[in-house]
C-alpha cells in the first residue's frame, strides 16, 4: 500500500506512456489525414481504379450534296491489366498471333507490372472473336472510335487521314482537326480489396466533333479521278493532277492526284503516294504561262489582239543563247496567232515590250510566287525570283513559262481569273461546319470578293484568243460537242539532277474553261513524264474533254448556241455509266443523317446556275420518254436534264435525228438517252 496523497512511480510512468502513445497516434493521424492525404488518396486510387482515355468521335466529312466521305465507327480495342496476368510470356504467346502483333513487344508490355497497357487498338470483329476464345485473365475490351473512309481512295489527298488516336494527320482531317475532333472521354474501372474487377463505369463519355461540309462533288471527283487514272496508265506517266474549279466562286469541285493511296490504310503507302501534288508539287508551266504574257501585254496596251509581230522565222538570240520554236518556224503572226500557235519567239517579244518590274508585277498579280490560301495543308508558294535576281535570260524565259515553279492550283486559278472577267478568286474547299446542335458556320474565305488582275476588256479579248487555241491551234483535242471551250496547252521540259533541261522528260498540261462565254468550270490537267508523246495538246487536252462534257451534263449546263458539234464519239457513255451507280442522295435519305447534318448542301448549290440534274424527282420515279426527233440539240438537252435523264451525243449536226429509248418508253431518273444528230430538221 502507498501513503495517502502519493502515486507510485509505475502508475506515473503508465500515464506518461499512454499520453505519449496517444500523442503519437494523433500526430500520425494528422500526418495521414492532413499532410499526406493527397498522396495517399492518389495511391489508393491507383490501386482501386484504372482510368482509360477514350478517343473523341470525329465529326463526319460530307461532299456538297451530303454524301459521306469520312465517318467514325465504333470498334473494339484490347487492353490488359498486367498486374492480373500471372504468366506474361504465355499470355503474349497466345495473343500475338491472334492479333498479328510482335511477341516480344507485347510480352514487354505485359511484364511491366502497371495496372494498364494497350494490347491492340481498334481491332476487327474477327480479331475480337479470336481473343475471346483465349479467355485470358486480365485482358479486356473497350469501345473506341475509328475513322473510316467508305469511298476508299476517292478524294484521298483532299480528305487526308487520321491516326490511331483520332488526330488529323493530313488534308482536311489536319486543317479542320480542332473543329472535327471533339473532346476525349474517360472510362474508370474499379476493383475490390482483393484486386478483382468490381465495376466499370464511364465518368465522361467522349463528345463528337463538328461535321465538315466540302465544296467537292463526289460525282465530279469520280470523273476527274477516273480520267486521270486512265491518262496516267495509257501514257505510262509518273503521275498527274486534275483540278475542277468554279471560276466565279473559287470553290473546288474536284481535286485528283496520281499516284494515290487508301486513307483506311495510309501507312501502307509511301510518302510520294500521299502527297497532294495539286498544291505541293512544282513544275515549270511552259506554254500555259503564255496567258500571263499575253494578258500583261494587252493590259499594258502595248498591243492589241490583231497587232502583227515579226517572229524571226522561228529563232531569237538572247545574249549568247538562241531560243527556237517548239514546232514550226513563223514569220509574221498577230498577237492572237502567237497564243494560238504557242509561238515562243512571239511570246518573248511581247514580254520584252514591258520592263522587268512591270512584267513581274503582272505575274504576281495572277498569284504566282505566293500561296493561294486554300484551306488545305502542304501548299507551296512556288518559285519566282524578283527582277533584281534575274539573269540576262530570265525575262525571255519567264515569257514562255521557264525559270518559274508553279502548282496546278496556281495555274487553274490564273485561268479562272480570265474566265471570271479578270477577277482572281481565292480557291477554297471547306464550305462549312455543322455542330451537334445544328448550328452552322461558314468560313469567311468562301465570301472573299477576289481582286481584279485584268480589266474586263482584256479578259474578254484573251478569252477570244483562248477559244482560237482550241478551235484552230494546239488544243483541238479539248473541243466539246455543243460547247465553246477556251484554253491553253503546255509542254515543258523537266530539269534533271544536274540543273539542266532533261531530254525525254516532260510535263504535259492543259488548262481551260467552259462554256467560254458563261463559264461554269475551269479545269486543269497536268501529266508528269508521259511516254508515247509529250505535248499537252495530245496528252492532257483529251482528258480535259472527257472530264468536262459529262460534268457539264451532270450539272445541267446546257449546250450553247453556236457551240461546236463533232462527228466523233468522245466516249461520254462510258464516263456516265461509271457513275450511274453513284446517284445523287435523295432527299428522303437525309432523314437518316443526324439532325445536325441535315441538308448540308445548302452551303453551296450544286450547279453554277442553281439547277440540279434532277430538280424535283426522286431517284426511281418513272416517266415517259418524249419525242425529241426534229428538235434542236439545245431544246433536247433542256428537256432531258429537266427529267433527270443524261444525254449522250453522236453523229454530226445540230438537230436530233433519232433517239434511244424511243418515244413513249418508260425511263427513270439517271438513265442515259442516246441522241443521234443530223444536219437538218425532218
DSSP per-residue letters across 221-255: HHHHHHHHHHHHHHTT-SEEEEEEE-TTT-BEEEE
In angstroms, what CA-CA distances link 662 with 446, 514, 657, 658, 674? 45, 31, 12, 8, 10
Question: DSSP assignment, residue 215?
Answer: S
Structure-block grid coordinates of residue 643: 427529267
Q: Which residue has the higher pLDDT, 513 or 581?
A: 513
Instruction: Name the CA dihedral angle for 635, 512, 523, 444, rounded to a multiple of 10 degrees.
Output: -100
Per-residue pLDDT at 565:
42
3 state SS of 581: coil
How confident is the model over 283-314, as pLDDT tens digits?
A: 999 999 999 999 999 999 999 999 999 999 98
Residue 606 has pLDDT above 70, yes or no: no
**CA distance linking residue 638 with residue 655, whole number of Å:** 14
- Contact in structure between 420 and 251 (CB atoms under 8 Å): no
Burial of 644 (0-12, 13-18, 19+ CB in 10 A): buried
- Contact in structure between 158 and 64 (CB atoms under 8 Å): no
Using the Cα atoms of residue 488, residue 489, residue 495 and residue 501 in order, give the sign of their dihedral.
negative
Per-residue pLDDT at 607:
32
In angstroms, what CA-CA distances link 278 with 230, 263, 282, 363, 609? 18, 17, 9, 20, 27
Residue 81 has pLDDT above 90, yes or no: no
Q: How far apart are the first and last CA of the chain?
A: 146
Residue 559 has pLDDT above 70, yes or no: yes
**CA distance linking residue 239 with residue 469, whole number of Å:** 26
Percent of the chain topping pLDDT 90:
47
Instruction: Name the CA dihedral angle for 279, 282, 286, 289, rounded to a multiple of 10 degrees.
Output: 40
Core vs surface per residue 83-95: b (16+ CB within 10 A) or e: ebbeebeebbebb
Question: DSSP assignment, residue 31?
Answer: I
Within 8 A by CB and 6+ apart from 120, the residues are 77, 78, 99, 101, 127
**CA distance linking residue 587 with residue 619, whole number of Å:** 10
Per-residue pLDDT at 300:
95
**CA distance linking residue 226 with residue 238, whole number of Å:** 16
Beta bridge partners of 52: 187
**CA distance linking residue 533 with residue 235, whole number of Å:** 8
Residue 591 has pLDDT above 50, yes or no: no
Mean local confidence (pLDDT), 74-83: 85
- Contact in structure between 519 and 543 (CB atoms under 8 Å): no
Question: DSSP assignment, residue 600?
Answer: G
Burial of 186 (0-12, 13-18, 19+ CB in 10 A): middle
Place of cell 438537230: 655
To the nearest 10 degrees (0 to 180), the angle between helices 356-365 and 290-299 is: 110
Per-residue pLDDT at 642:
64
Residue 535 has pLDDT above 90, yes or no: yes
Q: pLDDT band at residue 188, thresholds of 50, 70 and 90?
A: low
Per-domain residue ranges of the chain: 10-48, 218-576, 614-682
Residue 388 has pLDDT above 50, yes or no: yes
**CATH: 3.40.710.10, 3.40.640.10, 3.90.1570.10, 1.10.579.10. Which one for 218-576?**
3.40.710.10
- Contact in structure between 360 and 490 (CB atoms under 8 Å): no
Q: Which residue has the higher pLDDT, 319 or 485?
A: 485
Q: Of the listed 287, 342, 654, 671, which one is catalytic?
A: 287
Per-residue pLDDT at 561:
55
Place of cell 437525309: 590
Mean local confidence (pLDDT), 61-71: 92
- Contact in structure between 217 and 67 (CB atoms under 8 Å): no
For the chain, helix, strand, coil in percent to 5 are: 35, 25, 40
Q: pLDDT band at residue 363, thresholds of 50, 70 and 90?
A: very high
For the question of residue 287 being annotated catalytic, the response is yes
Please provide the CATH number assigned to the domain covering 614-682.
3.30.10.20
Pairing type for strands 430-434 and 161-162 reads unpaired
Per-residue pLDDT at 368:
97
How confident is the model over 646-682, as pLDDT tens digits?
A: 677 777 677 888 888 888 888 876 677 888 877 665 4
Report the range out of 67-81, 202-216, 368-382, 484-498 with the highest average pLDDT. Answer: 368-382
In angstroms, what CA-CA distances link 437 with 67, 421, 600? 20, 40, 14
Place of cell 438513265: 671
Per-residue pLDDT at 41:
64
Angle in degrees, CA 380, 386, 388, rounded to 5:
155
Per-residue pLDDT at 557:
86
Residue 256 has pLDDT above 90, yes or no: yes
How confident is the model over 219-244, as pLDDT tens digits?
A: 999 999 999 999 999 999 999 999 99
Amino acid at each position: 500500500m502507498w501513503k495517502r496523497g502519493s502515486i507510485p512511480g509505475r502508475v506515473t510512468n503508465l500515464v506518461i506512456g499512454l499520453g505519449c502513445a496517444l500523442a503519437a497516434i494523433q500526430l500520425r493521424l494528422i500526418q495521414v489525414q492532413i499532410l499526406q492525404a493527397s498522396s495517399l488518396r492518389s495511391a489508393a486510387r491507383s490501386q482501386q481504379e484504372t482510368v482509360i482515355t477514350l478517343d473523341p468521335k470525329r465529326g463526319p466529312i460530307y461532299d456538297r450534296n451530303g454524301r459521306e466521305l469520312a465517318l467514325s465507327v465504333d470498334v473494339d480495342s484490347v487492353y490488359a491489366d498486367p498486374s492480373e496476368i500471372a504468366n506474361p510470356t504465355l499470355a503474349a504467346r497466345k495473343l500475338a498471333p491472334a492479333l498479328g502483333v510482335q511477341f516480344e513487344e507485347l510480352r514487354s508490355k505485359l511484364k511491366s507490372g502497371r495496372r494498364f497497357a494497350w494490347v491492340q487498338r481498334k481491332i476487327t470483329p474477327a480479331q475480337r472473336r479470336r481473343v475471346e476464345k483465349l479467355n485470358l485473365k486480365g485482358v479486356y475490351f473497350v469501345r473506341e472510335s475509328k475513322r473510316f473512309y467508305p469511298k476508299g481512295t476517292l478524294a484521298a489527298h483532299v480528305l487526308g487521314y487520321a491516326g490511331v488516336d483520332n488526330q488529323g494527320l493530313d488534308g482536311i482531317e489536319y486543317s479542320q482537326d480542332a473543329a472535327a475532333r471533339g473532346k476525349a472521354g474517360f472510362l474508370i474501372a474499379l476493383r475490390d480489396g482483393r484486386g478483382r474487377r468490381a465495376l466499370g463505369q464511364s465518368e465522361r463519355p467522349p463528345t463528337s466533333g463538328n461535321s465538315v461540309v466540302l465544296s467537292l462533288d463526289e460525282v465530279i471527283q469520280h470523273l476527274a479521278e477516273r480520267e486521270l487514272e486512265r491518262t496516267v496508265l495509257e501514257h505510262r506517266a509518273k503521275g498527274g493532277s486534275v483540278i475542277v474549279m468554279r471560276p466565279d466562286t473559287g470553290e473546288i469541285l474536284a481535286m485528283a492526284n496520281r499516284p494515290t493511296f487508301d486513307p483506311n490504310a495510309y501507312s501502307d503507302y509511301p510518302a510520294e503516294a500521299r502527297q497532294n501534288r495539286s498544291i505541293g508539287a512544282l513544275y515549270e508551266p511552259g506554254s500555259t504561262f503564255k496567258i500571263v504574257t499575253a494578258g500583261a501585254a494587252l493590259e499594258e496596251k502595248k498591243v492589241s489582239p490583231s497587232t502583227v509581230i515579226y517572229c524571226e522565222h522561228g529563232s531569237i538570240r538572247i545574249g549568247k543563247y538562241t531560243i527556237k520554236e517548239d514546232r514550226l518556224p513563223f514569220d509574221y503572226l498577230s498577237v492572237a496567232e502567237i497564243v494560238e500557235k504557242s509561238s515562243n519567239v512571239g511570246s518573248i517579244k511581247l514580254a520584252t515590250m514591258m520592263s522587268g518590274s512591270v512584267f513581274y508585277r503582272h505575274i504576281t498579280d495572277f498569284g504566282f510566287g505566293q500561296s493561294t490560301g486554300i484551306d488545305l495543308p502542304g501548299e507551296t508558294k512556288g518559285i519566282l525570283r524578283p527582277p533584281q535576281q534575274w539573269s540576262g535570260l530570265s525575262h525571255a524565259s519567264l515569257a514562255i513559262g521557264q525559270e518559274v515553279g508553279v502548282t496546278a492550283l496556281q495555274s487553274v486559278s490564273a485561268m479562272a481569273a480570265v474566265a471570271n472577267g479578270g477577277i482572281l478568286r481565292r480557291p477554297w474547299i471547306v464550305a462549312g461546319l455543322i455542330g451537334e446542335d445544328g448550328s452552322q458556320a461558314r468560313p469567311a474565305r468562301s465570301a472573299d470578293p477576289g481582286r481584279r488582275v485584268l480589266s474586263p476588256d482584256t479578259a474578254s479579248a484573251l478569252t477570244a484568243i483562248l477559244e482560237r487555241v482550241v478551235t484552230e491551234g494546239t488544243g483541238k483535242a479539248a473541243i466539246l460537242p455543243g460547247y465553246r471551250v477556251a484554253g491553253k496547252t503546255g509542254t515543258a521540259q523537266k530539269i534533271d539532277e544536274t540543273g539542266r533541261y532533261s531530254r525525254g522528260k516532260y510535263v504535259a498540261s492543259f488548262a481551260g474553261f467552259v462554256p467560254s462565254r458563261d463559264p461554269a468550270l475551269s479545269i486543269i490537267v497536268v501529266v508528269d513524264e508521259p511516254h508515247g508523246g509529250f505535248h499537252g495538246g495530245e496528252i492532257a487536252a483529251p482528258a480535259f474533254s472527257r472530264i468536262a462534257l459529262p460534268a457539264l451534263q451532270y450539272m445541267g449546263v446546257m449546250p450553247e448556241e453556236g457551240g461546236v458539234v463533232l462527228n466523233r464519239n468522245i466516249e461520254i457513255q462510258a464516263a456516265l455509266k461509271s457513275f450511274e451507280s453513284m446517284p445523287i442522295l435523295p432527299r428522303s435519305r437525309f432523314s437518316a443523317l443526324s439532325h445536325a447534318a441535315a441538308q448540308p448542301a445548302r452551303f453551296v448549290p450544286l450547279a453554277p446556275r442553281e439547277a440540279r440534274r434532277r430538280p424535283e424527282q426522286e431517284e426511281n420515279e418513272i416517266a415517259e420518254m418524249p419525242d425529241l426527233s426534229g428538235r434542236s440539240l439545245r431544246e433536247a438537252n433542256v428537256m432531258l436534264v429537266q427529267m433527270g435523264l443524261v444525254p449522250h451525243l453522236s453523229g454530226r449536226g445540230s438537230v436530233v435525228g433519232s433517239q434511244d429509248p424511243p418515244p413513249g418508253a418508260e425511263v427513270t431518273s439517271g438513265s442515259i438517252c442516246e441522241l443521234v444528230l443530223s444536219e437538218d430538221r425532218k
